[in-house]
Homo-oligomer: A and B are copies of this chain.
Amino acid sequence: MGGNTFGTSLQITTYGESHGHALGVIIDGLEPGFTIDLDDLSFQMSRRRPGGNRLGTERNEADAVEILSGIFEGKTTGTPLSIIIRNTNQRSHDYTDISRFFRPGHADFTWQKKFGIRDWRGGGRSSGRETAARLAAGAIAMQILRSKGIVITAYTTQIGSVIAKKRDLSAVTENLVSCCDSEAAREMEQLIDSCRESKESVGGIIECLVTGCPVGLGEPVFQKTEALLAHAILSIGATRGIEFGEGFLSAQMTGSQHNDPISPEGFLSNHAGGINGGITNGEDIFFRVPVKPTASIEQPQKTIDLEGQSQTIVVKGRHDPSIVVRIVPVIEAMTALTLLSLYYDQFGRS
């Protein structure tokens, strides 16, 4: 009930603070006998790591992963796989101003009220850095899913008011904002640069596409695929919602527009986003996720201190003007962990 474990057949448990000794994750329930691709694991970690992108934070972390257990001669054994990621580039002195003031848009206030104590260095466990552990676990889940033909791709479709006009997945790895439209990507990059200069931040929208998912994942009623994915995605800090298939647009559609007709060759449209009654139907799954603007901005903001007195805070440090790009792989990771757990629920572990 501490809330640091996620999943059913496949479970992850994470730990670690932004400026503590290390972050880590235990993955429990993996199928035995799977050969883990360590190069791919490192590559996935590099996608989110601080300092890995000129648009992001200047904090530079190697985010090297060490696997402590659960592998024998390169293969999973079915026992818990423990991964540790050491913190090496924390600079706590940057944050000493914030030990007593609550940063607006952050969890400082609620955390202090709930626990009566908090590791305020870099936000402690409420820092986005916590997601590095999820990413490591998700990278392994993605490898296993890929071996079953299931491929997950997330990408940016909007930063501020710049909106992608097309869905060109080949473009996603070709720009600094993981956008599916090269032209829009350039504008997005400029927007982020200008935000950095004006000490502002900006939000965005991420879309996630899953191909190759078999029919039958998800359990009726409370463990519907959408419910579990929504749980997974909304557990990522800074996400503000989720919509599947036509999502909010479906409010304006009629039944004959929204229903997907069925033919012997499969569904003739995919307004549902690949899920009916909570169970995957074999079509592509897709959903969209709004991400709020980075809460840390180097501008004066009204707040209070530990004693409840009015204060003005300017949040210094090494912040991303937009965290959208770094959340893209985290959304893939949480999607992978959710779907692999559902896969094991339905088809077992071998």
Contact = CB atoms under 8 A, between A and B. Distances in A.
Nearest to A341: B1
Nearest to A70: B15
A221 B259 CA distance: 36
Contacts of A293: 250, 253-255, 257-258
B118 A158 contact: no
Contacts of A254: 160, 195, 200-202, 293
B219 A297 contact: no
Given A68-B24, A243-B241, A281 B109 contact: yes
Contacts of A52: none
A200 B255 contact: yes
B119 A221 contact: no
Q: Is the interface of A mostly helix, strand, loop or mixed?
A: mixed
Contact of A259 (B68, B105, B126): B105
Given A1-B9, A9-B1, A251-B291, A104 B221 contact: no
Given A240-B243, A302-B263, A5 B20 contact: no
A154 to B, nearest CB: 15
A48 interface: no
Interface stretch (A138-146, A164-172, A175-183, A304-312): A304-312
Nearest to A19: B72
**How many of chain A's residues touch chain B, expressed as a range?**
35 or more
A268 B303 CA distance: 9
A260 B205 contact: no
A174 B317 CA distance: 53
Nearest to A9: B1
B264 A304 contact: yes
Given A107-B277, A215-B114, A281-B109, A11 B15 contact: no
B68 A15 contact: yes
A69 B21 contact: yes
Interface of A: 1-6, 8-11, 13-17, 20-24, 26, 28-30, 32-33, 66-70, 72, 75, 77-82, 84, 102, 104-107, 109-111, 113-119, 124-126, 130, 158-161, 195, 200-205, 215-216, 219-224, 226-235, 237, 239-264, 268, 272, 275-281, 287-288, 290-297, 299, 301-304, 308-310, 345-348, 350
Given A3-B224, A33-B116, A113-B215, 7 more contacts: A4-B79, A33-B117, A78-B114, A79-B125, A104-B259, A200-B255, A205-B248
5 contacts: A2-B28, A5-B11, A75-B117, A105-B258, A251-B292
